[in-house]
Amino acid sequence: MSSRRSFLGKAALSIAGTATLPMLGNALSKPSAFDGTPSLQTGIAGFTFVKFDIDKAIAMMKRVGVTNLSVKEFHLPLNSSQETINAFLAKLKDNGINPYAVGVIYMRTKEAVDQAFEYAKKVGVNMIVGVPTYDLVEYSEQKVKEYDIKLAIHNHGPEDKLYPSPKDIWDRIKNLDARMGLCIDIGHSLRAGTLPEKAIREYKDRLFDLHIKDVNSTAKDAKAIEIGRGAINFPAVVEALKKVKFQGVCSIEFEKDMTDPLAGLAESIGYFRGVVRAED
């Protein structure tokens, strides 16, 4: 089992090896299998940019070198016209940004479910990250079948009366259409008492999306912190994702210093990518 210590050791060896490679020649025995393409895709959850307009959000994404975005409604309202949506999508495309999902969208009425699926269709994505109330889960399944758009239900930790942990989602959708799945928020999962690496392994067949963050302890009231500084064992999380052959996007959701997130966001992305690279 990988650990923070083994990751840091690999990172240190990588840095040292880079510096001394010309002198070592063939002394480094085993070449790296890394081919330049990370095994896990990185994205950003739109809530990270709740304090910024889309132009500033795009600028920050370009600064940190991430191109996948889960679109939030404060950047593109749910009732937007197709013309407005097309202009928004053109702006993203012009800047090399890929809108891979929409959400988190809260679904408390049938009308809200209808609107969410029509919105996703207009945006042209095949996944909604959403939170339907219990009485709307089966109605949401009907819309999943009608639109052929996946619904990834998001867990929100101990304060959430609906889906505190990934298991609370699984218990509601395990017997439903295979396009009904999970967006596991690993920080909220840990606060709710479930190790994220365990949840990834257990619910792998319906794991569509991930919100990647760190928290400063395992307590229910733990606070967001830069990835790598907190309580989550990221080498174990990455190992689990690779074990289950996760094909989705690992979306960083940075919730500390949200009025000035760039430095912490960059650090978090760098650490997460470093773990992925060390495990490749």
DSSP symbols for 88-112: HHHHHHHTT-EEEEEEEEEE-SHHH
What is the rounded CA–CA span in Å between residue 277 and residue 242? Answer: 12
CA torsion angle 266 44 226 216 (round to 10): 180
Q: Cβ neighbours of residue 181 under 8 Å, at least 6 residues apart? A: 150, 151, 152, 153, 173, 206, 207, 208, 209
Domain that holds residue 172: 37-279
- Evaluate whether residue 76 is within a structural domain: yes
The DSSP H or E segment spanning 59 is helix 54-64
List the CATH number of the domain containing 163.
3.20.20.150
| Residue 138 predicted with pLDDT over 50 | yes
- Evaluate whether residue 233 is within a structural domain: yes
| Residue 160 predicted with pLDDT over 80 | yes
Q: How many CB atoms lie within 10 A of CB 201?
A: 15
Q: How far is CA 93 from CA 82, 115, 142, 254, in A?
A: 16, 24, 31, 23
| Residue 58 predicted with pLDDT over 90 | yes
Q: Of all residues in the chain, what percent carry a pLDDT higher than 90?
A: 85
- Evaluate whether residue 226 is within a structural domain: yes
Q: Of all residues in the chain, what percent carry a pLDDT higher than 70?
A: 87
Q: What angle do CA 106, 190, 186 make, to 5 degrees?
A: 55
**pLDDT class of 142 with cuts at 50, 70, 90:** very high
| Residue 8 predicted with pLDDT over 70 | no
The conformational region for residue 96 under phi > 0 = left, psi -120 to 50 = alpha, else beta, is left
**pLDDT class of 23 with cuts at 50, 70, 90:** very low
Average pLDDT, the chain: 90
Q: How far is CA 191 from CA 5, 164, 208, 217, 257, in A?
A: 23, 9, 21, 8, 20
Q: How many domains does the chain have?
A: 1
- Evaluate whether residue 63 is within a structural domain: yes
